[in-house]
Amino acid sequence: MRQMTNILKGFFPNIPIYAAIGNHESFPRDSFPPPEVPEVWEKFGIQWLYDTIADQWEKLVKGPAPSSIRFGGYYSVLIRPGLRLISINTNYCYRFNWWLLYKSVDPGLVLRWLVSELHDAEKRGELVHIIGHVPPYYTDCYSQWAHQFSRIVTRYSHIIRGQFYGHSHMDEFRLHYDVNSPQKPIGVQYITPNNGPFNNLNPSFRLFYIDGDYPETTRKVLDYETWVMNLTHANKFDAPHWYQLYSARRDLQLPTLDPYDWDQLVQRMAQDPELFSKYRRYQVQDSDMYAKRSCGEKCRRKVLCTIVDGDKLMPPKCHPHD
């Protein structure tokens, strides 16, 4: 972690960098005991990790680390006037974190803390971006936790203007629907692809364009572009070549990146095999390995159902096995 901090600082010396904790940071990997249970924390706690993270993040943002990092690996910070960034520790919903079998109700108290932060942001008139590692609607996150997260997003959807995650290694998104009105799209979980080759994928990175600094700014995600490096080409010519794979609005024909338009995209992909094939190529980062495998009707339904049925405790919108 110290090595990564130094690399990032070297390349971006004057840009604040805000991080989210992933499942490989702990040792043993995936092990995140609940810090609010004293008898557990005294024996098995990972205070060494949270203290290290706080120390490293202070260097990246050039300011004091919030105390919540040292408690549970999450934090909230005002990054622009009226724009708050909340970094959540989604290892407390991760199904391979076996401590969740010991304490399953809001381990790490992350959801309680998140509600408190959103409540205060609402009172102050702030807009919010959320970052995390495991997407709450990803299959690795417990569905009960994800549903409670859904309820929180429903309550505060008017101020949550972006959610950004990783972990899946693919280029994906998940849609939030209002828990009280299940047909109404209210949010998007953007899942950025990985910058390594795991598994049969090309290294990638993404640039988001956010509504900027002016009096009536919405702080919405206006567009994004994904860049990839083709490994077949790199191995053949012994030289990495990065190229822009796609731009969301241009190549997926999105009027805006609002939840409604993403929902409409799913409807269009369900009717248009060519459009889905294009999305599938983006999802797997233009991988030559995946290009050899077809994604037929069953595969297409599964991909599309996964986007709209992230909250397993809400009525399903489609049935992947029909």
User: Which residues are CB-neighbours of 39 under 8 A, at least 6 positions away?
Assistant: none
Residue 167: the pLDDT is 94
Residue 53: the pLDDT is 93
User: Which residues are CB-neighbours of 210 under 8 A, at least 6 positions away?
Assistant: 129, 162, 219, 220, 221, 222
Identify the residue whose tokens are 């972006």: 162
Q: Which contiguous run of DSSP H or E holds residue 246?
A: strand 242-247
pTM: 0.96
Identify the residue whose tokens are 């949550």: 160
SS3 114: helix
Identify the residue whose tokens are 């609002």: 258
Of 115, 120, 128, 126, which is closest to residue 162 (Cα–Cα)? 128
User: Which residues are CB-neighbours of 117 under 8 A, at least 6 positions away?
Assistant: 76, 84, 86
Q: Which contiguous run of DSSP H or E holds residue 236?
A: helix 231-237
Q: For 278, what's the count of Cα atoms within 13 Å in the CB-facing half-sphere? A: 16
Of 86, 61, 245, 274, which is closest to residue 165 (Cα–Cα)? 86
What does the block give as tokens for 120?
Answer: 């205060």
Residue 83: the pLDDT is 97
Residue 319: the pLDDT is 73
Say how far apart CA 235 and CA 203 lie, in whole Å: 13
Q: How many secondary structure helices (H) and strands (E) does the chain include? A: 13, 9
Find the radius of gyration of the CA atoms of the chain: 20
Name residues of the chain where pLDDT drops below 50. Answer: none
Query: Are the beta carbons of 130 and 163 closer than 8 angstroms?
Result: yes
Residue 322: the pLDDT is 55
Of 163, 225, 220, 167, which is closest to residue 195 (Cα–Cα)? 167
Query: Long-range contacts for 92-96 (Cβ within 8 Å, ≥24 apart)?
Result: 92/32, 92/34, 92/145, 93/134, 93/136, 93/141, 93/142, 93/145, 93/146, 93/149, 94/23, 94/30, 94/32, 94/134, 94/140, 94/141, 94/142, 95/140, 95/141, 95/142, 96/23, 96/30, 96/140
Bond into 28 cis (ω within 30): yes
Distances (CA, A) of 129 to 78, 160, 223, 259, 266: 10, 6, 15, 15, 24
